[in-house]
């Protein structure tokens, strides 16, 4: 059997971009304009969200070139702190971190696409099954599919921006840096809105889950994480500008289908219905990226813990069984429609995981005395400013998540306790197997 080929920087960036660009960029503006009246403040909101994601990408690029192992938070936190911390991060990824957003995106993709009388949930499951099957066929097939889908996604958004700026009609919305701007940017409303913008930027760390799949992780991982995040940040800010430029604010308030409303203003209202199909196709790229990345966490845990050994990657380095486990969990969430609650209670846990990785930059530098002379490490620029900035914002998000959703937060803690039990069982089983071999 020939060795499975590895991926390059282009595919790494495609994975990051595909994971990041989703429904949030086309839906959340309607809720922001209800509380923020200054359009420059809204654009600033998206810039700040991008800076937060970029600060996280800097840290992940550094930690990723130090640890040099696939699995994202599972691999990083296991190495930096303790295996149990990494295991719990991996447990979160397996149970909800990927399957829940895959389920949400699959439902959204089908809802936007004309599907007659066929039930949305069944079509959503079928879509995830097809994408899962594609990713079981080999890394190169996955790379080609992902690169093509992401390229089309970016081209469509760029075309949308060009049309909106070039031929779109000015709706008369002003963009002023006046006293109202300063007041809104410094308000609690701005801070709360930042949480939802942060969701739109989620996925900036996607390439860190595939470190072992890169031909040259020292070169490709930082470029993929940082370059992909910067590209999405630019697209997001320009996209929101196009929405605000072409649609009167009063027509955006409380609306979800922002993209359809905007395209009906830019082109012909009769053509707006076809934009739903376009959004559906854009989401397929994101679902594909999450399917590809998520299974790598399970396969990494399977390499280290006997309890999960069934889900190890096959000889060609493809986590086929882990992919189908992820498909099964996603299907359950789609059928039972419990994934929305899971996203709420798991949200603050995912933020906690990324925060621990960013804090890990301090730990890693303190432990590695030879770090300054090690050319194989990527060094995060503006250290420690970017790390402190990210950590403070993360603590703020966790505080508001727990305060506003105490019930869901308790469910998240319960999820962690179950994960801890599986860790203890797996560790005990591993020791028992070791004793059996000795006898």
Check residue 391 and give its pLDDT. Answer: 94
Q: What is the pTM for the complete model shown?
A: 0.79
Does residue 4 sit within a domain? no
Does residue 301 sit within a domain? yes
Encode the chain (439 residues) as per-residue pLDDT tens digits. 344 567 788 888 888 888 888 767 877 788 888 888 888 999 999 999 999 999 999 999 999 888 888 788 998 999 899 999 999 999 988 887 888 888 878 877 776 665 555 677 788 899 999 999 988 887 677 677 777 777 887 888 898 899 889 887 777 777 878 888 998 888 877 877 787 788 788 888 888 888 777 888 888 889 999 999 999 999 999 999 999 998 888 888 877 678 778 888 888 766 666 776 777 777 787 788 888 888 888 888 888 888 888 888 877 778 889 999 999 988 988 887 655 566 666 677 788 889 999 999 998 888 765 444 455 678 888 899 999 999 998 888 778 777 777 877 788 888 889 999 999 888 776 655 543 444 4
Say if CB 16 and CB 224 are below 8 A apart: yes
Domain that includes residue 248, residue range: 9-430
DSSP 50-118: HHHHHHHHHHHHHHHHHH--SSTHHHHHHHHT-HHHHHHHHHHIIIIITHHHHHHHHHHHHHHS--TTS
Q: Environment class of residue 143 by beta-carbon count within 10 Å: exposed (0-12), middle (13-18) or buried (19+)?
A: buried
Does residue 416 sit within a domain? yes
Q: How far apart are CA 416 and CA 85, in angstroms?
A: 10
Q: How many CA atoms lie within 13 A of 237 on its CB side?
A: 16
CATH number at residue 144: 1.20.1740.10
DSSP 6-43: PB-HHHHHHHHHHHH-STHHHHTHHHHHHH---HHHHH
**Dihedral sign, CA of 209, 215, 218, 224?**
negative
Does residue 127 sit within a domain? yes
CA distances, 269 to each of 159, 172, 260, 273 (Å): 18, 19, 9, 8
Counting the structural domains of the chain, the total is 1
- Angle at CA 229, nearest 5°, toward 225 and 233? 175
């Amino acid at each position: 059997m020939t060795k499975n080929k590895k991926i390059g920087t282009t595919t790494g960036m495609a994975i990051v971009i595909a994971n990041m660009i989703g429904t949030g960029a086309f839906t959340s503006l309607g809720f922001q304009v209800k509380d923020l009246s200054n359009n420059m403040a809204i654009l600033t909101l998206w810039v700040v969200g991008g800076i937060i994601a970029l600060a996280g990408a800097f840290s992940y690029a550094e930690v990723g070139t130090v640890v040099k192992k696939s699995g994202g938070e599972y691999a990083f936190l296991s190495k930096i702190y303790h295996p149990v911390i990494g295991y719990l991060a991996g447990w979160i990824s397996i149970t909800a971190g990927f399957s829940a957003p895959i389920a949400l995106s699959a439902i959204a993709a089908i809802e936007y696409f004309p599907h007659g009388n066929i039930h949305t949930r069944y079509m959503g499951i079928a879509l995830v099954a097809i994408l899962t099957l594609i990713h079981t066929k080999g890394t190169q097939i996955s790379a080609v599919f992902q690169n093509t889908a992401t390229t089309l996604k970016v081209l469509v958004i760029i075309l949308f921006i060009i049309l909106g700026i070039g031929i779109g009609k000015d709706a008369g919305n002003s963009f002023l840096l006046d006293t109202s701007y300063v007041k809104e940017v410094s308000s609690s409303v701005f801070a709360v809105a930042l949480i939802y913008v942060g969701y739109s930027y989620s996925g900036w760390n996607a390439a860190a889950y595939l470190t072992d799949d890169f031909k040259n992780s020292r070169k490709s991982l930082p470029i993929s994480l940082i370059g992909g995040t910067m590209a999405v940040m630019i697209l997001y800010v320009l996209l929101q500008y196009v929405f605000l430029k072409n649609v009167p604010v009063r027509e955006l308030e409380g609306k979800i289908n922002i993209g359809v409303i905007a395209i009906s203003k830019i082109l012909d209202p009769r053509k707006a219905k076809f934009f739903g199909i376009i959004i559906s196709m854009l989401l397929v790229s994101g679902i594909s990226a999450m399917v590809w990345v998520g299974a790598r966490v399970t396969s990494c845990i399977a390499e280290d813990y006997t309890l999960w050994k069934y889900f190890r990657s096959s000889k060609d380095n493809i986590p086929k069984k882990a992919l189908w486990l992820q498909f099964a969990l996603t299907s359950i969430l789609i059928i039972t429609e419990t994934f929305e609650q899971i996203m709420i209670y798991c949200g603050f846990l995912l933020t906690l995981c990324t925060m621990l990785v960013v804090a890990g930059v301090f730990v890693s530098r303190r432990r590695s005395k030879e770090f300054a002379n090690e050319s194989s490490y990527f060094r995060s620029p503006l250290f420690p400013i970017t790390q402190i900035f990210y950590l403070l914002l993360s603590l703020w998000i966790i505080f508001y998540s727990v305060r506003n959703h105490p019930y869901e937060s308790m469910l998240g803690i319960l999820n962690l306790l179950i994960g801890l039990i599986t860790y203890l069982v797996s560790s005990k089983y591993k020791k028992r197997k070791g004793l059996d071999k000795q006898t």
